[in-house]
Amino acid sequence: MEDFSDILIIGGGVNGCGIARDAAGRGLKVTLCEQGDLGQGTSSSSSKLIHGGLRYLEYYEFRLVRKALEEREVLLRAAPHIVHPLRFLLPYHKALRPAWFIRLGLFFYDHLGGRKLLPATKTIQLRNSLYGEALRDKFHKAFEYSDCFVDDARLVVLNAMSARDKGAQIYSRCKVLSARREKECWTIEVYDVATGAKRTLHSKFLINAAGPWVSDIIENKIQVEKQVTERENDKSKVKLRLVKGSHIIVPRIYDHDRAYTFQGGDGRVVFSIPYQEDFTLIGTTDVDYEGDLSRVKISQDEIRYLCDFVGEYFDAPLSPEDVVWQYAGVRPLFDDGTTSAQNTTRDYILDIEGGLNDHAGLLNVIGGKITTYRVLAEDVLEKIKDFFPSMKGEWTSSQTLPGGDIDGAGIEAESASIHVKHPGLDKKYIDRLVKSYGSLASSILNGHQKMEALGQHFGGGLYEAEVIYLIENEWAKTAEDILWRRSKLGLRLSNAETESLDLWIKYYNKSRNSENRMFK
C-alpha cells in the first residue's frame, strides 16, 4: 500500500521524536507528522534542565525521581555537546524547610539514581564567597548539588535527525486533519501547512504524542468505528491537566557558573540559571491554563511574581523592566486530582486503546518531562511490541545522538581540534558551533579558513553557512526556527537583522527544491 507505515506519530516534540528514533532503530517503518516546527511547543519552553526533580521527593514520587536521575547520566553520554553538568546552590532559608529535611532530601538525591559521573552534594559557606556576593546578607550557607543543563529544542531536533538516519519520515508543518480506523489499519488525512496540499497516509499503529493537543486529537481528529471496541466512552479516559510554565531572561546577574535553587513561602522553587554567557534564565511558574494553545504567553503577573520571588534572595532588586526576553509553554500533565498545579505529577501515562483483535492500535501519551523522554519511548515500544513481533530490542541507552560522538576529553578538546584545522576562523565562533552541533560542526565549516568564506553575516555571529546547514539538515524554515530553537541567537540580533534573515530565508526556500517537503 502506498504511503504505509508501521507506526505514524502525531507530534514532533521530544516525546514524539524520541519514539520515532527508538522505533526506527528497531526496524519499524515510521512516519512522524508535526503541525508546526519540531519542538515548537512545550519542548522548547522548558527550564532547560535534565534533572531528577528534587522537589518531587516531597510528594513521594520516588520512582519518577529515580528514573530521572538515572537518565541524567545516560543523556550526558549521549549528547555531551548539548547536555552539560551544572552545579546548583540551594541557599538555606531558616523560615522555610529545615536544614535536616533538605540534607535528607539531598542524600536521597545523591544515592537514588546510581550517580557516577556527577559530583556529590556538599555544604558551602556563602560569607566571603563568590557564590554569596549576589545574595542578601541573611543567607549564610547553601547546599550544593548536581543536575544538568540541556538545549531542549536541539535535543528534539537531534532525535528527529537520528530517526531520519534510521529511515523514519519526519514531516514538520504537516497537520493531521483526521485519523480513521479501518480494521487492519489507520487512514490519516494530512495537509501541508505552507501550501494547503492534502495527502492520505496509512499506518498499522497510531501514536498520539501531541502534547497539549493530545485531547484535541482524541476528541476532534480520531474516528473509531463502534464495532471495533466495546468500550462506551474511550475519549473520556484521558485526563489531562494543562499547566503553563513561564520564564524570563535578564542580563547576567552574577559572575560565576553556578545556578541557584530558590525556595518560596508558597512551597514552590524557582531556578536562576546562567544562560548564553551574558544572561540569566529565571523560572518557572505553575499556572493552570485554559485558552488557545497557539497563543500561550507569559502574563504580567507572572513576570512580577518571578521578579519578586528571586528578589527575596538577590541583593539587587529585579524589575519587569530588566527582562530582555520571556517565553511560556503549556505542560500536558496527567490529571491526578491534586488541587495545586505545582503538585500535579510529572510522570507519564501511556493509554493504549485496542488490542490485536482490533487490528489497528492506538496509544496516547499523557504527561511526562523532558528528562525522561527516552525511557518513555522505550515504554511505548514495550506497550506495542505484540503488534510487531519481529521488532528488535532496546538500543538507545548506549548510543550517542548526532554530533555526540566527540572526543572523550569533551567539547573543549573538540573545539580545539577543529580550530587547529581552521586557524583562520574565530575561536569563539567555533566554540559556539561545537556546543550546538558537536562533531557535526565541521559540516558547517566545510573546510573554510576565513570568516568571510562563511557567507553573509546576519548579526550575532550567525553566518550564511550555518543557516544553509539548518535549512538543509534540520527542517528550519523561518528566522524564528533558527534564532529561537536551533540556536538562541535571537537574544543577539536586532529587529532589522531578524527581518533581513527572514527575507533571505524566503528567497532561499523559493530557489531550492526541498527534499524534506512532503507534497512535491
pLDDT at 308: 97
Whole-number percent of the chain with pLDDT over 70? 92
Q: What is residue 248's three-state secondary structure?
A: strand
pLDDT at 237: 58
Residue 420 lies in a domain: yes
Residues 307 and 161 in one domain: no
Q: Which of 336, 365, 335 is nearest to 349 (CA)?
A: 365
Residues 393 and 268 in one domain: no
Residue 257 lies in a domain: yes
Q: Decide if 332 contacts 367 (C-beta within 8 A).
A: yes
pLDDT at 409: 61
Q: Decide if 35 contacts 171 (C-beta within 8 A).
A: no
Q: Which of 157, 7, 150 is nearest to 81 (CA)?
A: 150
- Residues with Cβ within 8 Å of 207's Cβ and at least 6 positions away in sequence, in order, are 7, 8, 9, 10, 16, 19, 362, 363, 365, 380, 384
Task: Tell me what the mean pLDDT of segment 215-229 comes to.
Answer: 73
192-196, 243-247, 305-309, 434-438: least confident range: 192-196
Query: Over the stretch 293-338, which tens digit does the pLDDT of each residue have?
Result: 999 999 999 999 999 999 999 999 999 999 999 999 999 988 876 6
Whole-structure pTM value: 0.94
Q: Is the pLDDT of residue 226 over 70?
A: no
pLDDT at 227: 39
Residues 265 and 323 in one domain: yes
Strands of 355-403, DSSP E: 361-367
Residue 112 lies in a domain: no
Residues 382 and 234 in one domain: yes
Peptide bond into 284 cis (omega under 30): yes
Residue 80 lies in a domain: no
Using the structure block, give the residue that is written with the C-alpha cell 576529553: 409
Using the structure block, give the residue that is written with the C-alpha cell 462506551: 232
Domain final residue, candidates 283, 308, 334: 334
CATH of the domain at 450: 1.10.8.870
Residues 219 and 362 in one domain: yes
DSSP, res 424: T
Number of domains in the chain: 3
Residues 369 and 458 in one domain: no
Query: How many CB atoms neighbour CB 447 within 10 A?
Result: 8
Residues 266 and 230 in one domain: no
Task: Tell me what the mean pLDDT of segment 360-389 comes to.
Answer: 95
| Alpha carbon distance 319, 306 (integer Å) | 9
Q: How many CA atoms lie within 13 A of 424 on its CB side?
A: 9
pLDDT at 230: 43
Residues 34 and 180 in one domain: yes
CATH of the domain at 264: 3.30.9.10
Residues 486 and 498 in one domain: yes
Residue 86 lies in a domain: no
Residues 188 and 228 in one domain: yes
Query: Over the stretch 259-280, which tens digit does the pLDDT of each residue have?
Result: 999 999 888 999 999 999 999 9
- Residues with Cβ within 8 Å of 483's Cβ and at least 6 positions away in sequence, in order, are 462, 489, 490, 493, 498, 501
Q: Which of 347, 343, 355, 420 is nearest to 385 (CA)?
A: 355
- Residues with Cβ within 8 Å of 235's Cβ and at least 6 positions away in sequence, in order, are 218, 219
Q: What is the largest CA-CA distance in the chain?
A: 73
Task: Work out whether the CA dihedral 225, 227, 230, 233 comes out positive or negative.
Answer: positive
Q: What is residue 425's three-state secondary structure?
A: coil
Q: Is the pLDDT of residue 1 over 90?
A: no
Residue 341 lies in a domain: no
Q: What are the φ and ψ backbone dihedral angles of 429, each rounded to 5 degrees?
A: -65, -45
Task: Map 95-139 to HEC letters.
Answer: CCCCHHHHHHHHHHHHHCCCCCCCCCCEEEECCCCHHHCCECCCC
| Alpha carbon distance 53, 488 (integer Å) | 25
Q: Decide if 49 contacts 272 (C-beta within 8 A).
A: no
Query: Over the stretch 48-78, which tens digit does the pLDDT of each residue have?
Result: 999 998 888 887 788 889 999 999 999 999 9
Burial 89-121 (b: 16+ CB within 10 A, else e): bbbbbeeebeeeebeebbebbbebbebeebeeb
Q: Is the pLDDT of residue 381 over 90?
A: yes
Residues 433 and 478 in one domain: yes
> Which domain range does residue 477 map to?
411-510
* Residue type present at position 306: L
Residues 196 and 246 in one domain: no
Mean pLDDT of the chain, nearest integer? 91
Residue 97 lies in a domain: no
Whole-number percent of the chain with pLDDT over 90? 80
* Residue type present at position 495: N
Query: Over the stretch 457-483, which tens digit does the pLDDT of each residue have?
Result: 999 999 999 999 999 999 999 999 999
Residue 273 lies in a domain: yes
Q: Is the pLDDT of residue 356 over 70?
A: no
